[in-house]
Structure 1
Amino acid sequence: MHTLEQLRSGALAGITRLTLRCGLTEFPREIYALADSLEILDLSGNALSSLPEDLHRLHKLRIIFCSDNQFTELPAVLGACPALAMVGFKANRIREVPATALPPVLRWLVLTDNLIEELPAALGERPQLQKLMLAGNRLRALPGSMAQLHRLELLRIASNQLTALPDWLPALPRLRWLAYAGNPFCEQREDELAHTPSAAIAWSVLVLGEKLGEGASGVIYKADWRRDGAAAEPVAVKLFKGAMTSDGSPLSEMAACLGAGAHPNLIPVLGHIEDHPDGAHGLVMSLITPDFGNLAGPPSLDSCTRDIYDDDKRFTLEAMLSIARGIASAAAQLHAHGILHGDLYGHNVLHCDQGRTLLGDFGAASFYDPAGPHAAALQTLEVRAFGCLLEELLDRCDAAAPGLRALQHACLQGAPRFTDIKEQLDNSF
């Protein structure tokens, strides 16, 4: 975090990243003194409603964040910035997205939690676009030109007003991570899963302890479950925030967790919380032992859609196969239940040194009819995502078995189903 005083005094000369959160209502002109070095500009959490017409003077600017401000229109000046590849305007009041506001080399666009009803056809004319986040708007349709986005890999369109999933969308050749829950066309299926029978656990019998973690959709606590006549049982409690996330609504995540069913590679759900004093939704889950950790870190600004692994991360063949088999088996069950995980990534996989594996974080989960017209195409997207994960595991495996690379390449093409992948991993390696 930087200050205006630092900027005005020249103390920030030559920096490549500037972050200002100080109640700004106007763009500080002093930023132009950094034009020959500034690459990342973060003005989130202010009270801005416009950007200056000469913003393009920041000729090295690659990334701009203006989330949690007061913009009602995506500024057209962004389209004149020659190097701008990432644009983040989450949680504003944006209704209009002019075609001229889309930079020519746009790679990553975040417009989550705004008031957008329509997108310009020019969005489909940005051939480098890889990551597009539009959850929590008022979109009733997507421009058909988006069928030209042959490099698009991640798309979030949850919690809009879409009445159908476009036929061209699942056919995008590189799409791997998709979230669309909370739209009218899938409300019935989501409602069915949300009402999956589960034990009701009264808030009064739970004693919260330390916070174990916090994500976009909720906070996880260690807790004691004190049932009548029984010793207190250590559990994990996830309380959902109820706010819109970049993936969609936390209530969709809850529906997916309940509808997924029991599986050795999914975190067991023991029940849902009733009678929370603030009306919060929550789940009670088995407590995961401390020897489990995340397989990878989430994508960086530079990697865009690919996870980040520790430089020294290595797997034995046995551990690598255990991870791959576990995730393929869990995904096969999800697909059989009509659930698309939507975020099949290493950073959502928990594992321990012995290769024991759990697939978590259902925040991007979506729902479909396993016998419906889009079922096969949607499953193909997730197989491609598994192909990326398998590639990352193989790149860090000490001695990969023959044939695994062929399977990985087949997955990137979306060829096999998870039931076939599981069978190959179980019987061929």
Structure 2
Amino acid sequence: MHTLAQLRAGELSGITRLDLCEGLTDFPREIFDLADSLEVLNLSGNALSSLPDDLHRLHRLRILFCSDNRFTELPACVGRCETLSMVGFKANRIVHVPGAALPPKLRWLILTDNRIETLPDELGERPALQKLLLAGNRLTRLPSSMQACHRLELIRIAANRFTELPQWLLTLPALTWLAYAGNPLETEADSAALDATPVIDWSTLRLEHKLGEGASGVISRALWQRDGQPDTPVAVKLYKGEMTSDGSPLHEMNACITAGRHPNLIRVEGRIGRHPDGAQGLVMQLIDPHYRNLAALPSLASCSRDVYTDDCRFHADAALRVARGIASVAEHLHGHGITHGDLYGHNILLNDQGDCLLGDFGAASFHATEDNLETRALQRIEVRAFGILLGELLERIDSGLSDERRAALQALEQRCCQPDVLSRPGFGEVTALLGKL
């Protein structure tokens, strides 16, 4: 994090990224002194409500973050920044999004947790648009002009006011990751599964240390103490109340429970009851420490694609074990009326043998279990995510794969990713094909 004093003293000359968080109420004009180098500007966590009309003077600016401020309107000056491709205004008070505020090269737009009721038609006139995060607003529809967004891969519309999904949305050729939980349109979670889940009293859990923290909650190692039984090591996840980019953390908890049991899912032992602060949470299977994440989250540069380490390589047997496991668990989820919404390498834990677990249900949504055109399309959108994952695995197999098997897997990848959504195979067919290989 930089300081205003450094900026005013000229100590930041030539930097490409500036991070300022000092309770700012006005845009510091000294930022323009960095115009010939500045590419990333992060003004999140201040008290700003406007930006200068001549913001476009930052002629190299590619990325702008202004989350957790006091904007009530997406500033029109943002749209005049010719090189700007990523715009983030999460957790403001935005009601109005003028079409003029959308820069021509817009690729990634974050408007999560605002008060937006409508979006401008100009959104469909941004051909580079790839990621759109709109969870936690007041939207009832998307502009029909977005039918032209043929590069759109990820969209989050959870926790809005949609009563139906636009049919054109389910036909977009590149759409891969969709989250819509917490809208009136969504099918309810399986109440029987929720009611049948054991309630584990908080007093029987002894937290030891934190294992990790994400947008939706904190995971800790704990001992589960039960009368007449040895203490059981478990993982405890306490959910936060804040809206995440995917949606509501409590929807995530319901999806984890409704998903039931599968060898490639992290086992849920029960829900937490009688927490002293009323917090919601789950007690889950403790994962063997030999498991690791398959990939890292997408970067600012990769946008919608995971980041793999250079030394991430597989024997064919391990890679195919991962592919079969993920296809199997996705088929299981779809059978329970759940789309994962975030089927990515960074949400997969695996060991050296290719045993894998699919986690993070933050973007999961419920749909009808009967077969119809809408549920089929929702499921085939997720099949494209699997196709991308399969391609990433294939790129990293360095031994054990014959030319014939590679050709068969590449053909499956292409079928999963073809632009005609309903022509993609379902996960039942995918698992059968992988089983033959």
TM beyond 0.5: yes
1:417 alignment partner in structure 2: 426
Whether 1:330 aligns to 2:308 is no
- Contact 1:177–1:382, Cα closer than 8 Å, also in 2: yes
- Contact 1:158–1:182, Cα closer than 8 Å, also in 2: yes
CA separation in 2, counterparts of 1:360 and 1:58? 40
Residue 191 of structure 1: how far off its partner (Å):
6.3
CA separation in 2, counterparts of 1:124 and 1:115? 21
SS in 1 for 2:428: helix
RMSD after superposition = 1.1
Matched letter for residue 396 of structure 1? R
Whether 1:406 aligns to 2:411 is yes
- Contact 2:190–2:258, Cα closer than 8 Å, also in 1: no
CA separation in 2, counterparts of 1:293 and 1:375? 32
SS in 1 for 2:222: strand
- Contact 2:219–2:236, Cα closer than 8 Å, also in 1: yes
Residue 370 of structure 1: how far off its partner (Å):
2.3
Q: 1:272 to 1:417 in 2, by over 3 A?
A: same
CA separation in 2, counterparts of 1:153 and 1:13? 37
Whether 1:220 aligns to 2:225 is no
CA separation in 1, counterparts of 2:195 and 2:425? 29
CA separation in 2, counterparts of 1:338 and 1:124? 30
Matched letter for residue 393 of structure 1? L
- Contact 1:196–1:259, Cα closer than 8 Å, also in 2: no
- Contact 2:189–2:258, Cα closer than 8 Å, also in 1: no
- Contact 2:338–2:367, Cα closer than 8 Å, also in 1: yes
1:139-218 alignment runs, 5 A limit: 139-186=139-186, 188-190=187-189, 192=191, 195-218=194-217
Residue 408 of structure 1: how far off its partner (Å):
1.0
1:255-280 residue CA offsets vs partner (Å, 9 max, x unmatched) = 11011110000000011111111111
1:46 alignment partner in structure 2: 46
- Contact 1:194–1:255, Cα closer than 8 Å, also in 2: no
2:83 alignment partner in structure 1: 83
Residue 167 of structure 1: how far off its partner (Å):
0.8
| TM-score (norm. length: structure 1) | 0.98
Matched letter for residue 430 of structure 2? I
1:262 alignment partner in structure 2: 261
| TM-score (norm. length: structure 2) | 0.96
1:289 alignment partner in structure 2: 288
> Unpaired runs of 5+ in structure 1?
none
CA separation in 2, counterparts of 1:61 and 1:404? 41
1:230 alignment partner in structure 2: 229
1:357 alignment partner in structure 2: 356
- Contact 1:65–1:88, Cα closer than 8 Å, also in 2: yes
CA separation in 1, counterparts of 2:393 and 2:142? 35
Residue 154 of structure 1: how far off its partner (Å):
0.2
2:37 alignment partner in structure 1: 37
- Contact 2:339–2:366, Cα closer than 8 Å, also in 1: yes
CA separation in 2, counterparts of 1:65 and 1:426? 46
SS in 2 for 1:229: coil
SS in 1 for 2:189: helix
CA separation in 2, counterparts of 1:165 and 1:85? 27
SS in 2 for 1:333: helix
Q: 1:110 to 1:194 in 2, by over 3 A?
A: farther
1:314 alignment partner in structure 2: 313
Residue 142 of structure 1: how far off its partner (Å):
1.2
SS in 2 for 1:159: coil
Q: 1:373 to 1:412 in 2, by over 3 A?
A: closer
1:95-174 alignment runs, 5 A limit: 95-174=95-174
Matched letter for residue 121 of structure 1? D
CA separation in 1, counterparts of 2:47 and 2:250? 30
1:200-247 residue CA offsets vs partner (Å, 9 max, x unmatched) = 111111111100000000000101110111111000000000210000
> Unpaired runs of 5+ in structure 2?
none
Matched letter for residue 407 of structure 1? L
CA separation in 1, counterparts of 2:368 and 2:54? 50
Residue 194 of structure 1: how far off its partner (Å):
7.1
Count residues with an aligned counterpart. 427
CA separation in 1, counterparts of 2:218 and 2:195? 23
SS in 1 for 2:196: coil
1:233-248 alignment runs, 5 A limit: 233-248=232-247
CA separation in 2, counterparts of 1:182 and 1:18? 36
Moved more, 152-161 or 141-150: 141-150
1:329-376 residue CA offsets vs partner (Å, 9 max, x unmatched) = 000000000100000000000001111100000000011002244111
1:286-310 residue CA offsets vs partner (Å, 9 max, x unmatched) = 1001000100000000100000000
CA separation in 1, counterparts of 2:148 and 2:269? 44
